[in-house]
Amino acid sequence: MAANSNALLRHKILDNCLRDTQNRYTLKDLINECSKALQIKYNNKEQKVSVRTIQLDIQFMRDPHNGYGAPIVVYDNKYYRYSDPSFSINKSELSRNTLGNLKEAVNILREYGSFNGFEQIKEIVSVLDEEILSKNNSSNRAVSYEKKKNPLGLEYFNIIYDAIINKKVLCIGYYSSRSNNIMPIIFYPMYLKEYKGRWYAMGYKDGLRGVYKLPIDRIRDFSYAILPFPEELEFNAEEYFRDIIGVTRLSGEVRCIRFLVKNKLAPFLRINPLHQSQRVVNVHENGNIEFEIDIIPNREFYSTIFEYQPNIQIISPRDIGVQANATVTDLIDELPDYTRQNGTADEDAAMDNWDDGFNLFSELNK
């Protein structure tokens, strides 16, 4: 399995080099790049890839049946490059041989999924099974899952993961949407977290106190900083995420928040709680349910309240209800007023009466 992993890493490095139209890579250069990547993988232990290994890798990548069908050509009898700059092995179909190896790995994962603590592996196995099946016979698919097309930043996922495991300091080229510029930051990665389809690297930013969350889709480039990784840096993921929704932990105390959910949404939130602390405190005759959660309110919490409008209202505390209402109002105020343009008086009146009076904190003054 380790040999297959090393081969895949070499193929990815070769792919990056062969797609690079700004540089010219000789066979020696390709060997050096692959050796560097393996050295990083094995925590700076010296790794030397042989000429024969790279030659076989190139031969495999060219193979249209067992490999990737890569259009690798040699320019001036010296430099290696794709004849089609848009080609990438990441865009190519997996070979039957590769699919067979992947299926063997899935079978191993399936065995581990039966052990306590590894239940989530079963979901991963189901997704992989469907992907393998789709490559062999797309008409027999039984499961579909949502995935982003060309998600930004995922090419840095393995870099960050390796830096976390091996305690490496990164110099990140971070894109700021506010300034529309790329800024260099020194980053000490500690943890990777996915929230609503977006990956975040949790760690510490040089010159800033406290945990820093870095959306990896904001990364534009990286290099390794020649700095020691401070031994005193710690990140307790269980403690950090325990009292929040999402990835933003603000300073402040945990608040007990009570909210009322309309009967049309209540059954869903009863089996899909907003937070692990959620509990039922009152069930109304009309099917509405009152819940409580113990969290530190953050941006993700208020966004969730907005997402489920108009079926949730905050009962207490009042300040959180006021803040939730203000957040929703601010978001609504930013929307174009489509209803007022070219509309009749009757249509405008109908729009005025569409709401049934349900308010985020209508119960607060009772």
Phi/psi at 117 (5° precision): 90, -10
Residue 197: CB atoms within 10 A of its CB come to 9
pLDDT at 352 over 50: no
CATH number of 154-242: 2.30.30
Confidence tier at 339 by pLDDT (50, 70, 90): low
Closest CA to 122 of 114, 133, 131, 132: 114
pLDDT score at 236: 92
DSSP lists the bridge partners of residue 184 as: 173
Cα separation, 157 vs 349, in Å, equals: 52
Q: In which residue are the tokens 């106190």 written? A: 209
Both tokens of 232, joined, read 């005193």
**Cis ω for the linkage preceding 310 (within 30 of 0):** yes
Domain ranges of the chain: 2-91, 96-140, 154-242, 255-352
Cα separation, 178 vs 218, in Å, equals: 12
pLDDT score at 7: 83
Asked whether 292 and 257 are in contact (CB, 8 A), the reply is: yes
pLDDT score at 350: 43
Strand order in the sheet with 181-195: 212-215, 198-205, 181-195, 170-176, 219-224
Q: Which fold has domain 255-352?
A: Alpha-Beta Plaits (3.30.70)
Collapsed DSSP state (helix, strand, coil) of residue 319:
helix
Range among 98-102, 261-265, 346-350 with highest mean pLDDT value: 261-265
pLDDT score at 106: 74
Residue 200: CB atoms within 10 A of its CB come to 20
pLDDT score at 118: 62
Cα separation, 313 vs 322, in Å, equals: 11
Both tokens of 199, joined, read 């990956």
Task: State pLDDT tens for residues 193-238.
Answer: 988 888 899 999 988 888 999 998 898 888 888 888 988 889 999 9
Mean pLDDT computed over every residue of the chain:
80
Task: State pLDDT tens for residues 191-205.
Answer: 999 888 888 999 999
Q: Which fold has domain 2-91?
A: Arc Repressor Mutant, subunit A (1.10.10)
pLDDT score at 1: 46
Cα separation, 69 vs 65, in Å, equals: 7
